[in-house]
Structure formats: structure tokens, C-alpha cells
């Protein structure tokens, strides 16, 4: 499988908690192990929730932003459940 097939972007800009977290969990389920999900969010409150979820699930997570009001939360899916 190509690297691009293992990468996905979830755009939840404009949505407020808990929707970014719920949609992220669902998107991770459809991503293969080793895949990378980049979540775009404008909800400042969802950033620590996404980080905490990813860390508790054992996933690698990196947050950048805000750039023009948008945070990028990159989550690498590992063997753990979503």
C-alpha cells in the first residue's frame, strides 16, 4: 500500500467539542495500522482532548498551529484500538 493510501485528512473546522473527537475516533477506525490521520480543527478546546485521546490510546501525536486559526493534529495509528 502506498504512503498516500495510509494518510488521511479529517476537516472538522467550525465544529465544536465533542464532535472533533468523535469524528476523529471514527476516522481512525477506517485507517490501517501505521496510517497517519491529520485533523484540521478551529476549536481550541478540542486540541487537548485530541492529544489526550491519542496518548491514552498509545498513538503518536503532534500538534501544530494555530495558523490562520487552524490547528493541525497529526495522529499515527498503531496497533492499539481506536
- Determine which one of 7, 15, 17, 82 is catalytic: 17
- List Cβ neighbours of 7 (8 Å cut-off, separation of 6 or more): 35, 36, 37, 38
CB 33 within 8 A of CB 80: no
To the query of whether residue 13 is one of the catalytic residues in this protein, the response is no
Catalytic machinery residues: 17
Amino acid at each position: 500500500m502506498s504512503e498516500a493510501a495510509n494518510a488521511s485528512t479529517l476537516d472538522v473546522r467550525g465544529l465544536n467539542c465533542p464532535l472533533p473527537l468523535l469524528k476523529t475516533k471514527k476516522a481512525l477506525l477506517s485507517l490501517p495500522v501505521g496510517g497517519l490521520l491529520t485533523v484540521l480543527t478551529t476549536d481550541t478546546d478540542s486540541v487537548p482532548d485530541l492529544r489526550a485521546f491519542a496518548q491514552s490510546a498509545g498513538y503518536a501525536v503532534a500538534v501544530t498551529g494555530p495558523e490562520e486559526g487552524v490547528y493541525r493534529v497529526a495522529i499515527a495509528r498503531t496497533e492499539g484500538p481506536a
